[in-house]
Chains A and B, each alone.
Chain A
Amino acid sequence: RKEVEQDPGPFNVPEGATVAFNCTYSNSASQSFFWYRQDCRKEPKLLMSVYSSGNEDGRFTAQLNRASQYISLLIRDSKLSDSATYLCVVTPTSGGYNKLIFGAGTRLAVHP
């Protein structure tokens, strides 16, 4: 079983749509959680951290459910520029440093 699992997509949505991505992780002791965005053939960039209380940044809302080991990302009012691959990322407990465990990513394509 993969440590972090995501639906690969692609999700093809029209501009203005609301789209939700899900992610599950296998290590119940994982410490920190993130969503990264990766544009084609470029480096991943941090989109937002994810907290149990939920957090929102503009059109983006992230949620963590530790009991279910489930992370979600909601994008409202999709823009063409949101087209990218969204990576679910967790950090394990050991080491005391930020070794990132990446999911394979969910591809989003927003069309006019």
Chain B
Amino acid sequence: NAGVMQNPRHLVRRRGQEARLRCSPMKGHSHVYWYRQLPEEGLKFMVYLQKENIIDESGMPKERFSAEFPKEGPSILRIQQVVRGDSAAYFCASSPNEGYTFGSGTRLTVV
């Protein structure tokens, strides 16, 4: 029973490129959350999705960021035209209803 799988573990992008972060929730989990952790800071909520629906995106930057959780396949966090300030660890978590399991995260570095 694999845990929450995130890939890639490390991602390097040049300024202006696109970053795609993937998250496969635990089997049977239909709720996915994305969090961002900037250096020396705590995790900040970005978005909460259920299958094919965005429930709460109050933590998402208004521009360049989008998220989806299709009927089939992993949840995707997409960052367009990355800037240096996007460099951070991005963690995904899944839950059935209550209780979280976090993935190992994707460390994005923008050069």
Binding site for B on A (CB under 8 A): 4, 41-46, 87, 95, 97-105
Contacts and interface: CB of A to CB of B under 8 A. Distances in A.
A41 B40 CA distance: 11
Nearest to A97: B48
Interface stretch (B11-19, B61-69, B73-81, B94-102): B94-102
Nearest to B31: A97
The secondary-structure label for the interface of chain A is loop
B102 A87 contact: no
Contact of A98 (B100, B103, B105): B100
Contacts of A100: 33, 35, 43, 45, 100
B73 to A, nearest CB: 22
Contacts of A101: 45
Nearest to A101: B45
List 10 tightest A-B contacts by C-beta distance, closest first.
A102-B42, A43-B102, A104-B42, A102-B43, A43-B104, A103-B42, A99-B45, A104-B41, A43-B105, A105-B42
